[in-house]
Amino acid sequence: MARRALSKYESTRLRSAVGAYLAYQTFSSVNFFWPIFVVFYQRYGRIDLSTILFLQAFYTVARVILDVPLGLVADRFGRRPALAASAGMLLLGCAAILSSPTLVAFYVGELCFAVSVAAKSGADSALLYDTLSEFGQAEDYPIVEGRAQSLAAVASALSALLSGFALEWWLPLPYVLTLGASAATLAAASMLEEAPRQDAEGVGLRSLARGAVREVLSSSQIVWLIGLYVLLVVLSHVVFYLQQPYLQSLGIPVAVFGAVVCAAKLTHAAVSGSAQSIERRLSPARMPAFMLGAALVPVFLMSLVPWSVGAIVPVLRGVGDGLLMPVVNFYLHRIVAPLRRATVLSLASLFARATQAAVLAGFALLLAHLSLGAVLSLAWVIGALLAAALLWLPDRAHRPAAAPPEVRLEREGRESLR
C-alpha cells in the first residue's frame, strides 16, 4: 500500500492514535518486580531457586496454552479489548501474590501474569500496524514501533532501577507499585483507537485458526521467520532467568540488580529507536545474523566472566531485545494477512514459549547437578549451533509462497530475507 498524503483531520487522528499507543506501551512496561522476583520469592515465600524455576516453567506453559486462543480472540473481537484485559490481569496477578506468601498464591499470580502477557502478545503490534495501514502509512511501522519500544524500555529501565531499593525498603513494595502502574495501563487502553475490521464479522474462531495455520505452513519465509523469533526469544530469556543467580554469584548487592536491568533497558531503548537505520545499513539479508550474534554474546560472556565486572554483561541483552519487535514483527506483518496478524504472532510466541518452558525445566534439573557456569556454557554452545543451522537454511529453502491478495496490496518490493 503506497504512502498517501493525509488531510489535516486525518493527521490529527493519526497523531492521537499513535500517542495513545505510545502511552499504553510506556505504562504497560512499568514493572518493579521482574528484576528482583527471584529474590522476592526466596525471601517472601522462602522457596529455593529450583522451585522458582519450576514456577516460571508453569507460567511459561500457561502462556503457551493461552497465546494462540487469546490471539484468535483479539483478531476476531478486537485488539483494544485484549490490551485492556492484559492490563487488568496484571493488576489481579499482583493482588494475588500480595494476598498471601504461599505457593498457591504465587501460582495464581503467575497464571494471571501469563494471561496478561498472552492477551497482549501480537495484539499490540497488530493494532499499530493496522492503524498505520488505515492511514496509508504502513511503512512508518518500524519507526513508530521502534519509538514505542524505546519509550517502553526507558519506563522499564526506570522502574527496574528502583526495584532493588523498593525491595530493600519494604518487601512487597515492588508488587504494590506495579499494581498501580497496571491501573494506569488500563486507563491508557481505553484511549486506544482500533481500525475498522469488517472482514472479521461472521468469521468463526475455528476458521481463523485454520487460516492462520495454513498461512504459516504455506510459506517457508514465515516458518523461517518464526524460527528466528523463537531462537532470539529463548536466548534472551536464558540471560533474563539466570542473570539474578549470576549476579548473586558475583557478590553483587541486590540493590544494584535494578541498576543492571536499567542499563540493559536503556540499551534496549537506544537500539529500538535506531532499529530502522540499523536494518537499512546492514540490509534485511544480514540482519538475522547480527541479531543472533547480539543474543549469543551475553550468554557466552556470562559463562566466562566470574568477576564483579561481569555485572556489565547482562546489559548487552538490550541490543538483541531492542531489534526484535521493530524488525522481526515488521517482516511478519508485511507478509501475513491483516485478519490473522495477531494469531500468527501468537503462534510464533507459542513456539517460543514452549521452547522456553522446556529450557527452564532443563535448567531447573541441570542446576541440581551442575554449576551455573557449566549450564551457561551448555546454553551458548547449543544456541550457537542452532543459529548456524538457521542461517544455513535460507539459501536452501523453497521460495516463499505468494502472499495472500490482501497482503500483496501492501507490499512494495522490500528485499526478501531469503
Query: What one-character DSSP code corresponds to residue 286?
Result: T
Q: Which residues contact 377 (CB under 8 A, 6 or more apart)?
A: 303
Residue 205 confidence (pLDDT): 67
In one-letter notation, the amino acid at residue 330 is: F
H-helix or E-strand containing 143?
Answer: helix 141-169
Residue 412 confidence (pLDDT): 37
Residue 44 confidence (pLDDT): 93
Residue 401 confidence (pLDDT): 41
What is the C-alpha R_g of the chain? 21
Domain that holds residue 251: 14-194+206-401
- In angstroms, the CA 322 to CA 80 distance is 24
Task: Answer yes or no: is 94 within a domain.
Answer: yes
H-helix or E-strand containing 344?
Answer: helix 341-366
Residues 276, 329 contacting (CB under 8 angstroms): no
Residue 345 is placed in which grid cell? 504472532
Q: Which residues contact 226 (CB under 8 A, 6 or more apart)?
A: 216, 347, 348, 351
Smallest CA-to-CA distance from 10 within 198, 151, 195 is with 195
Smallest CA-to-CA distance from 363 within 43, 46, 41, 55 is with 55
- In angstroms, the CA 66 to CA 411 distance is 31
**Which range has the worst mean pLDDT, 101-105, 286-290, 365-369?**
365-369
**Which range has the worst mean pLDDT, 128-137, 159-168, 196-205, 281-290?**
196-205
Instruction: Confirm whether pTM is higher than 0.75.
Output: no
**Which range has the worst mean pLDDT, 21-25, 170-174, 179-183, 393-397?**
393-397
Residue 405 confidence (pLDDT): 47
Q: Which residue has the higher pLDDT, 2 or 26?
A: 26
Task: Answer yes or no: is 414 within a domain.
Answer: no
Q: Which residues contact 298 (CB under 8 A, 6 or more apart)?
A: 239, 313, 314, 316, 317
Task: Answer yes or no: is 409 within a domain.
Answer: no
pLDDT (mean) for 194-205: 60
- In angstroms, the CA 344 to CA 75 distance is 10
pLDDT interval class at 386 (50, 70, 90): very high
Q: Which long-range contacts (CB under 8 A, 24 or more apart) does 87-92 make?
A: 87/28, 87/116, 87/182, 87/183, 87/185, 87/186, 87/188, 87/189, 88/116, 88/182, 88/186, 89/113, 89/115, 89/116, 89/119, 90/28, 90/116, 90/178, 90/182, 90/185, 91/179, 91/182, 91/183, 91/186
Q: Which residue has the higher pLDDT, 95 or 336?
A: 95
Task: Answer yes or no: is 8 within a domain.
Answer: no
Task: Answer yes or no: is 413 within a domain.
Answer: no
Q: Which residues contact 62 (CB under 8 A, 6 or more apart)?
A: 110, 111, 114, 115
pLDDT tens digit string along 214-258? 888 888 888 898 899 999 999 988 888 888 888 888 888 877 887
Residue 278 confidence (pLDDT): 86
Residue 231 confidence (pLDDT): 93
Residue 9 confidence (pLDDT): 81
Residue 384 confidence (pLDDT): 94
pLDDT at 196 over 80: no
Count up the domains in the chain and report the number.
Answer: 1
Residue 222 φ/ψ, nearest 5 degrees:
-65, -45
Residue 69 confidence (pLDDT): 87
CATH code for the domain in which residue 378 is found: 1.20.1250.20
- In angstroms, the CA 284 to CA 274 distance is 15
- In angstroms, the CA 214 to CA 164 distance is 46
Query: What one-character DSSP code corresponds to residue 43?
Result: I
Q: Does residue 1 sit in helix, strand or coil?
A: coil
pLDDT (mean) for 28-37: 90
- In angstroms, the CA 272 to CA 261 distance is 16
C-beta atoms surrounding 108 within 10 Å: 18
Task: Answer yes or no: is 259 within a domain.
Answer: yes
Task: Answer yes or no: is 253 within a domain.
Answer: yes
Number of H helices, E strands in the chain: 18, 0
Task: Answer yes or no: is 149 within a domain.
Answer: yes
